[in-house]
């Protein structure tokens, strides 16, 4: 009898132990989970002024944690503005408003528009112009700003909510004034308040800078590649609102300039078929001595721009978005409305590092750099602001713990990007243009290659350099707006510049 009891007791022991173990493990995991969720919540207020210590070469000062209130001799970003008086050469009004819009296929988009247009109105200005843009927000609930992507405007006109201004609330307005100092070329504008949602829904448009006396007598066509969220079909790729095929009549012999603008969050590959063409500019800067290309795929960074030019032949020319086999997004240029499309001239990806001819640059690989930074881009699964998601840390950190690049005005700054993650990261620096010095350790041998948005693909590395000649506090972030919203942002700060603005849940500012 006792023997039987003992056996029975043992028989029960194992499952009970297992159950206890399971309970303890579950408690541990859920405890760790809720602790992680809590710990990843962003502070309610994050001030934008970085600290002003530790400014040695290679220094990466903490972002905002060691925030020091503006010192006596600090310049505020609100003082770094364009001319406040003087009659502007160009004056625009952009009204943010909700509208139900249709793509060419008939698919509907619940859009946020500027002036009821999708994409927003094309702003054409000339180099040297004083431009005034009045932003009026008539959205029902969201804030708006205007950021001039690629234009090196004074910091206070840069339009980043929580960094250079407060988000403009419904019913409010804000006026931007700046002199166009950039090269003639292709730029764009977009809201920089909750840009993931705002740009996605349509608060963007092309911004074209023309030379003082523009003599181009051909067809000049901005093409904005974007994915729209449609009611009927979910995500739909389009050139502007052309999610199908659009014909354009062009007479043979006409010079054609296509301004390819990627307003999407992933690289867009364009294929031009039916004629040789040249890539004449990247991110608003002309390339030196571009040569004819055929059968090359143009991979444009999210936020980036390529301008291509050709002379219209006697036969049809097509421009295709070739990301997906199923995509039917196409511009077909021909003399009459019956011509059929040429065979797709797809080929290897065009590499700007070896295209065109060398030319003197203000600095290069052998220059002495005042500051050098290395930014390592990684991936990990983690918690961010209470949610578990894919994170894209920079040097192991996500915003607001990412490093702040602190510089003095006049510094020559070198930045090395290394992408160890599995996704592309189009790195965009506000307010400056970066000269690409080397690609995967090899010096750039083609035309000087200036960018404001550089696609760093998985496994790639780049060295770039820029002159710190535009004081302020500038965003430097991935233009895959999902990544930016998950903290893939840092800032370039100038010593002695402070910002009175803040981001965070307790503020009206959420730039990404």
Out of Cu ion, ligand C2O, none, which partner does residue 433 contact, by CB within 5 to 8 A per kind?
none
For ligand C2O, give the closer residue by CB, 163 or 435.
163
Query: Which residues fall within 8 angstroms of residue 318, CB to CB, at 6 or more apart?
Result: 272, 273, 274, 330, 331, 332, 333, 341, 342, 344
In the complex with Cu ion, which residue's Cβ is closer, 201 or 483? Answer: 483
For binding to Cu ion (CB under 5 A), which residues are involved?
392, 425, 478, 480, 483
Q: Which is nearer to ligand C2O, 101 or 146 (CB)?
A: 146
Query: Whole-number minimum distance, CB 425 to Cu ion, in Å?
Result: 4
Q: Six-digit token pair at 364?
A: 């290069």
Minimum CB separation of residue 199 from ligand C2O in Å reads: 8
User: How many beta carbons lie within 10 A of that of residue 16, not counting itself?
Assistant: 9
Whether 92 and 134 have beta carbons less than 8 Å apart is answered as yes
Containing H/E element for 131? strand 130-137
Q: Residue 107 or residue 302: which is nearer to ligand C2O going by CB?
A: 302
Beta-carbon-side half-sphere exposure of residue 167 (alpha carbons within 13 Å): 26
DSSP annotation string for 28-93: HHHHHHHHHHHHTPPPS-EE--------STT--B-SSTT-----TTPEEGGGS-S-SSS--SEEEE
The least CB distance from residue 460 to Cu ion, in Å, is: 13
Give min distance, CB of 400 to Cu ion, in A.
Answer: 17
> Rounded CA gap, 312 and 339, in Å?
14
Question: Closest-CB residue for ligand C2O?
Answer: 149
Q: Which residues bind ligand C2O (CB under 6 A)?
A: 147, 149, 190, 192, 303, 428, 430, 475, 477, 479
| Residue 201 binding partner per list ligand C2O, Cu ion, none, with a CB distance cut-off of 5 to 8 Å that depends on partner kind | none
Given ligand C2O, Cu ion, none, residue 483, with its beta carbon under 5 to 8 Å by kind, binds Cu ion
Min CB(265)–Cu ion separation in Å: 8
- Least Å distance, CB 444 to ligand C2O, is 24
| Closer residue to Cu ion, CB minimum distance, 177 or 428 | 428
From the list Cu ion, ligand C2O, none, which binds 303 (C-beta under 5 to 8 Å, kind-based)?
Answer: ligand C2O
**Out of Cu ion, ligand C2O, none, which partner does residue 190 contact, by CB within 5 to 8 A per kind?**
ligand C2O
C-alpha radius of gyration, the chain, whole number:
26
In angstroms, the CA 71 to CA 498 distance is: 8
Q: For residue 418, give every residue at least 6 positions away whose Cβ sits within 8 Å of its Cβ, in sequence order, or none.
A: 374, 375, 376, 377, 461
| Contacted entry of Cu ion, ligand C2O, none for residue 477, CB cut-off 5 to 8 Å set by kind | ligand C2O
Q: Are 149 and 452 in contact (CB under 8 A)?
A: yes
Nearer of residues 147 and 183 to ligand C2O, judged by Cβ? 147
Q: Residue 330 binds which one of ligand C2O, Cu ion, none, with CB within 5 to 8 A depending on kind?
A: none
Q: Please, what is the minimum distance in Å from the beta carbon of residue 427 to Cu ion?
A: 8
């Amino acid at each position: 009898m006792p023997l039987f009891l003992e056996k029975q007791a043992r028989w029960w022991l194992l499952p009970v132990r297992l159950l206890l173990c399971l309970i303890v493990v579950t408690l541990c995991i859920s405890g760790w989970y809720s602790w992680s969720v809590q710990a990843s919540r962003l502070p309610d207020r994050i001030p934008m002024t970085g600290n002003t210590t530790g400014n040695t070469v290679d220094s990466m000062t903490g972002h905002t944690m060691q925030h020091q209130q503006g010192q006596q001799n600090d310049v505020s970003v609100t003082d770094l503005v364009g001319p406040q008086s003087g009659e502007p050469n160009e004056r625009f009004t952009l009204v943010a408003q909700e509208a139900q819009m249709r793509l060419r296929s008939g698919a509907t988009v619940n859009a946020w528009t500027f002036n009821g247009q999708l994409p927003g109105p094309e702003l054409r200005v000339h180099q040297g112009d004083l431009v005034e843009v009045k932003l009026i927000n008539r959205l029902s609930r969201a804030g708006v700003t205007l950021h001039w992507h690629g234009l090196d405007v004074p910091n206070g006109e840069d339009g980043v909510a929580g960094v250079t201004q407060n988000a403009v609330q419904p019913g409010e307005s804000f006026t931007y004034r700046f002199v166009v100092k950039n090269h003639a070329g292709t730029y764009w504008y977009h809201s920089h308040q909750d840009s993931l949602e705002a740009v996605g829904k349509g608060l963007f448009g092309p911004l074209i800078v023309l030379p003082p006396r523009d003599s181009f007598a051909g067809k000049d066509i901005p093409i904005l590649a974007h994915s729209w969220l449609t009611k009927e079909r979910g995500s739909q790729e389009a050139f502007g609102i052309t999610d199908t095929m659009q014909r354009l009549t062009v007479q043979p012999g006409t010079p054609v300039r296509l301004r390819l603008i990627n307003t999407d969050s992933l690289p867009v590959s364009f294929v031009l078929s039916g004629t040789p063409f040249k890539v004449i500019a990247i991110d608003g800067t002309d390339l030196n001595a571009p040569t004819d290309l055929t059968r090359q795929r143009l991979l444009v960074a999210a936020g980036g721009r390529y301008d291509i030019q050709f002379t219209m032949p006697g036969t049809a020319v097509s421009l295709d978005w070739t990301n997906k086999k199923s995509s039917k997004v196409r511009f077909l240029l021909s003399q009459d409305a019956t011509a059929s499309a040429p065979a797709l001239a797809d080929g290897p990806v065009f590499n700007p590092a070896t295209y065109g001819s060398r030319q003197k640059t203000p600095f290069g690989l052998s220059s002495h750099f005042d500051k050098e930074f290395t930014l390592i881009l990684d991936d990990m699964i983690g918690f961010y602001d209470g949610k578990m998601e894919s994170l894209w840390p920079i040097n192991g950190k996500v915003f607001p713990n990412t490093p702040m690049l602190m510089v003095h005005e006049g510094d020559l700054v070198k930045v090395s990007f290394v992408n160890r993650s599995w996704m592309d990261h189009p790195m965009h620096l506000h307010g400056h243009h970066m000269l690409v010095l080397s690609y995967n350790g090899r010096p750039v041998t083609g035309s000087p290659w200036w960018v404001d948005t550089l696609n760093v693909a998985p496994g790639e590395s780049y060295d770039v350099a820029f002159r710190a000649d535009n004081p302020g506090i500038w965003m430097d972030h991935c233009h895959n707006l999902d990544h930016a919203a998950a903290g893939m942002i840092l800032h370039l700060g100038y010593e002695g510049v402070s910002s009175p603005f803040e981001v965070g849940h307790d503020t009206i500012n959420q730039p990404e």
